[in-house]
Structure 1
């Protein structure tokens, strides 16, 4: 492909298309999650407000641009700044990626706290795979106590943040899963060995 404007434009369009396909695949995979979704119209409005930003954009840029924007969900009313970390370490590839993140508000709020805590650590970066493992643990906790008040998500989020503050390091994803399994068993939830939390 030629290194000219049309070639770069095509690369940008292809990259955007691939990101949208990944986001769509992630959303389809999340479709079985028990947390109620936001109204589609609210998400479209948020995406259109984000069009003024240049993507990829950091969480801090998104919060600065639309952080006070309120959105309604069956679980309550949230602002973008409650769900997106105000940190340069978190990057979103497109407005669709932001929408995908905020569709699960309790998980998004827990991840926001974790990312912001990790952002305080010098010379430490929350890798994408580690971030995904943390989020998968929160999703597993949400699935276990879907009718509860998300106590497990808050407890494990608090545990991760405390570990970051006390030990000045990010706990490994295995440690997080192990702690989540301990929480579940202590509260009477069954955790099988073949499940994500079954360590």
Structure 2
């Protein structure tokens, strides 16, 4: 491969795609969910409907095909359109990628709002690594804030979308983690320095 800008860009895209595939495989194997899982029966029905889609598929394609499908979790019922960003810039390589997206409904709903808000930014792209960092922050808030109706997730989601609208930029993962840690400490949750939120 030529050592020019397009060659380096292709290498970076390929590396990111391989990382995504590894993370999806790891996520599917995980058994230690930090959030109540989606009811397996509704997930099975949903997977059957996904088989009718051609992959890779955009978020818009997924919502158009199965957006009204309801998934049941311990916390309640969620329509797929509440969990998957309706955007042509959001791409799913396989049904497994969609399944991973919807397994944690509160995190998925928060990320949907952020992804859709970020599409308004010019020349700024929500990279896979930044997205994963945001998701990890939400997962930590879910684990810490399990009994408080996901207030931490809503607060940080709104904080990120406010930065997107007001400052026209995506906050760095470090800024998001710092804000989440501030929320936790202000609400009496201990955050150690060796934890994800411990900045």
* TM class by smaller structure: 0.7 to 0.9
TM-score (norm 2): 0.86
Partner of 1:109: helix, strand, or coil?
A: helix
Partner of 2:72: helix, strand, or coil?
A: strand
8 Å CA contact 2:181–2:197 kept in 1: the answer is: yes
Aligned pairs for 1:174-189 (under 5 A) are 174-189=174-189
Partner of 1:77: helix, strand, or coil?
A: strand
- Report the alpha carbon displacement of residue 38 of structure 1 after superposing the two structures with TM: 1.2
Structure 1: stretches of 5+ with no match in the other structure: 1-14
Structure 2: stretches of 5+ with no match in the other structure: 1-16
8 Å CA contact 2:50–2:66 kept in 1: the answer is: yes
How far apart, in 2, do the equivalents of 1:136 and 1:34 lie?
A: 11
Match of 2:87 in 1: 87
How far apart, in 2, do the equivalents of 1:81 and 1:97 lie?
A: 15
8 Å CA contact 1:63–1:81 kept in 2: the answer is: yes
Runs of 4+ in 1 over 3 A off after TM superposition: none
- Report the alpha carbon displacement of residue 22 of structure 1 after superposing the two structures with TM: 4.5
Cα shift readout 1:108-127 (whole Å, capped 9, x = no counterpart): 00000010011111211100
RMSD across aligned C-alpha pairs, in angstroms? 1.8
8 Å CA contact 1:33–1:143 kept in 2: the answer is: no
- Single out whichever of 159-168 and 114-123 deviates more from structure 2: 114-123
Match of 2:155 in 1: 155
